[in-house]
A and B are shown apart, each in its own frame.
Chain A
């Protein structure tokens, strides 16, 4: 019996090379004669380009070429959309305005590229930027989501006649009827905050054109190597296999690196072919803040209708979603918001409307969470307000309304980001709630500890919220498993790894079928020269989709190995086992053949073969689920607030999470730790701010604050439950976003509970000490 390595906390294969500094990141790639690119970006948020004067910059010694949109001629074209419009939803209105890689005629956000400098060194290229003169007729800045769609607003895309990018209504039941029958209706305006992906490594691109072989070698920090390769092929008129796109080691993705059809992948390969020189571009931090994508700002007008006993009758949520200057990523984010508002509770009547708005801000595409946290925040804030209004305990109100375990699979009636009805595949929400409640000793805290603390003048509050994480959406991923002549195994896919631990988890899945050591499996991710098919790393889908493909490919290889082994050992398959890197007869372990030898035999070099034979111990498999798999959990925390300085300290944090079968529990914990740090960042530290003229004023880590180690809870207690997904053979679900999406809702609930005397009504997903202080002052003066 081959030993299963699933659910084992095995040390990561990739750590030795990462920890000893022996990984190649994009900026480590050097070629003789390499030229360097710097991008001139607009200082203006909105304006008509009158002229771009590059003549002085071109005179600088070492500057090789400068290109503006005009210099690109016919090569300049917008798009295509990276995510298609939501035509599956009846009545959906969507105005496509795909990304313009470099501004032509008009500037739509500060930071939009207007010229590309190619020089002998990065220093020279950056110096030259200062000598490019942009003359612009300034237009009014569009930044307020609600005012942007009022008549008379300046227009980001004049031809549309409005800044409304999309309008999508989805309804289940009849909310208005429910509200009319309700005992209590609560209405709130809730705002979620704009935050950055903030990967430690910025984006980068290297292109090298082999003019003899007619091969374009590219290295990119992309989360989607195949779509990016295909986009480049389409732009340059090359066949896909003329482009080899490789992911070097990547220092974090968090969403924004999924984008293609941007200046880097459109222009740099073109320059490399034109100049026949290797070209490198690496983004600096300010560029990353200004010109890379980000998300999370929405304004919700939300309502909840309940009976006096706390039963939810319905929810209504009409919200404005900022898509920035273009909408290349379709409606992934706001559709996720729509599905996540109601994914924990019995909500018989639900009306939800997205008003997606163009603004003069950077393009909005997913950042770890991608709309999920916004939906969770809205629902949990509504429930907290309802609990106060009804005089009910917030946990009791949730307990009363949670979907019961027998409800699954549960059809929500709402179409999700994958354009099919959002079906919650499996879950046991009450169990997650009770685990967290017990771990935090919620009742004891509320009834015994907190009253004492309050009597002593202390401000400690508790929060408990529920969440789901829609993960593992289609369309598909694939992988190929190949046993080599050394007996070691290659697992190759064209996914992308930014630190998720795939070099280990995919190896565990494969090793569990082939009976080899995890360290004897070489996982290759994101090399289009080795595997040609795939979609990309987003929506916490890697381990489910690629993992299942690896599992299925491994099963095929196992079968192939057993067939061949059976012949060579003259023994029926059923009597054989795969273990310790060889096939042996279970009862006669000394009679065996190594996998390496088997691989040699699987590739005969003389003689004849049977008809239909496929060489090698190799197989590929592809997997696409009918719909996503939904993880879930319950987060609780106790926060101690200094009432004078409004500085909070998370004293305890308990997260119960269920992501189906964990492949490597240690890596799952790592994902949750990192996610929670990001969620804590969103709640009280991180915020992208544009001023009233469309200038981003938080474009450095001096102004864009990350939580430090000292801001994190001393201990993050993570409890697991395992509710396997019925959608795939391993029962896995994604885990990438869970930690990041649940924090703000819980944080605000705990803050309100801590500062109980002030009866706060926090309606923003991100605060800081000053803002919290203002909330308190406002409440005091009310």
Chain B
């Protein structure tokens, strides 16, 4: 699976960089992430629960930062394995200053996904990935704002509490993205035409049966 995109953070580049070094922030940003430990300067290890359509299960993962150039760019190596399959791949993240108060993150990743995740969860993977990214950025945006506010108030960023996206928010996001995928295909359009048609027919049938009765 290839992922590509960009996100605008409302904060200076150094603050964004510092934030993503913080395992607590990162863990809160990923839906289903149970814990994330920083095992060395460039390595994180964690456990997360993945749910993609009918497939779910625990994942053991490792995240390695390769060639970090603070606060400009880094390459991330991802390796996860668990009962539902595996994920392996590499991503590049670039942090570009856009004025003193804004930072653009440009990212691209190439992930190889295998096992039940791929063979049964495939039709959901794209929308789930999209939702995960969106939920993650929403959480990171909030975290960044909280960190900047704390900093302005003279408090240490460690004191900031981060709120992980709730399961229901995330589920809502997935449903929305999945529907988005449906409308863009020819079959999807057909469904969208047909459902209201069926509703109309049922209503008519009920009305008619009452009239005749």
Contacts and interface: CB of A to CB of B under 8 A. Distances in A.
Interface of A: 43-45, 110, 130, 133, 138, 286, 289-290, 645-647, 691, 693, 695-700, 702-703, 769-770, 773
B185 A770 contact: yes
19 contacts: A43-B85, A43-B115, A110-B114, A138-B88, A286-B116, A286-B120, A290-B119, A645-B189, A693-B113, A695-B114, A696-B118, A697-B119, A697-B122, A697-B123, A699-B119, A700-B119, A703-B120, A769-B186, A773-B186
Contacts of A110: 114-115, 119
Given A286-B120, A693-B114, 11 more contacts: A43-B85, A130-B83, A289-B119, A695-B114, A698-B122, A699-B119, A700-B119, A702-B120, A703-B120, A769-B187, A770-B187
Interface string B114-143: 111011101100000000000000000000
A696 B186 contact: no
B112 interface: yes
B190 interface: yes
Contact of B119 (A44, A138, A286, A647): A286
Nearest to B113: A695
Interface in B62-85: 81, 83, 85
A44 B114 contact: yes
B86 A43 contact: yes
A703 B122 contact: yes
Contacts of B122: 691, 695, 697-698, 703
The A interface, classified by DSSP as helix, strand, loop or mixed, is loop
A691 B112 CA distance: 9
A43 B185 contact: no
B186 A645 contact: yes
Nearest to B118: A695
User: What band does the interface of chain B fall in when counting residues whose beta carbon is under 8 Å from A?
Assistant: 20 to 34
A2 B91 CA distance: 80
Nearest to B116: A286
Nearest to B60: A133
Pairs of residues from A and B, 4 with the lowest C-beta to C-beta distance, nearest first: A43-B115, A699-B119, A695-B118, A697-B122
Contacts of B185: 770
A645 B122 CA distance: 24
A105 B174 CA distance: 40
Contacts of A645: 186, 189-190
A699 B118 CA distance: 9
Contacts of A773: 186
A770 B186 contact: yes
Interface in B160-207: 185-187, 189-190
Contact of A700 (B57, B120, B189): B120
Contact of A647 (B118, B123, B190): B190
Nearest to B119: A699
B205 to A, nearest CB: 19
Contacts of B112: 138, 693, 695
Given A43-B85, A646-B186, A691 B123 contact: no
A699 B122 CA distance: 9
B83 A44 contact: no
A700 B54 CA distance: 11
Contacts of A45: 114
A702 B120 CA distance: 8
Nearest to B114: A43
Nearest to A647: B190
Nearest to A133: B81
A286 B84 CA distance: 13
Contacts of A646: 186
Contacts of A703: 120, 122-123
A769 B122 CA distance: 19
Contacts of A695: 112-115, 118-119, 122
B44 to A, nearest CB: 20
A702 B123 contact: yes
Nearest to A694: B114
Nearest to B89: A693
A758 B69 CA distance: 54
A286 B122 CA distance: 13
Contacts of B83: 130
A626 B120 CA distance: 47
Contacts of A130: 57, 83
Nearest to A289: B119
A290 B118 CA distance: 12
B3 to A, nearest CB: 14
A44 B86 contact: yes
A44 B117 CA distance: 12
B113 A696 contact: no
Nearest to A44: B114
A698 B122 CA distance: 8
Nearest to A692: B112
Nearest to B185: A770
A645 B186 CA distance: 6
Contacts of A138: 88, 112
Q: Which of B119, B120, B187 has the most CB of A within 10 A?
A: B119
Contacts of B116: 43, 286
B39 to A, nearest CB: 19
A447 to B, nearest CB: 33
Contacts of B57: 130
A696 B123 CA distance: 12
Contacts of B123: 697, 702-703
B185 to A, nearest CB: 6
Nearest to A138: B88
A244 B65 CA distance: 60
B29 to A, nearest CB: 26
B192 to A, nearest CB: 11
B159 to A, nearest CB: 40
A94 to B, nearest CB: 31
Contacts of A691: 118, 122
B113 to A, nearest CB: 7
Given A645-B186, A645-B189, A645-B190, A699 B86 contact: no
B194 to A, nearest CB: 10
Contacts of A286: 116, 119-120
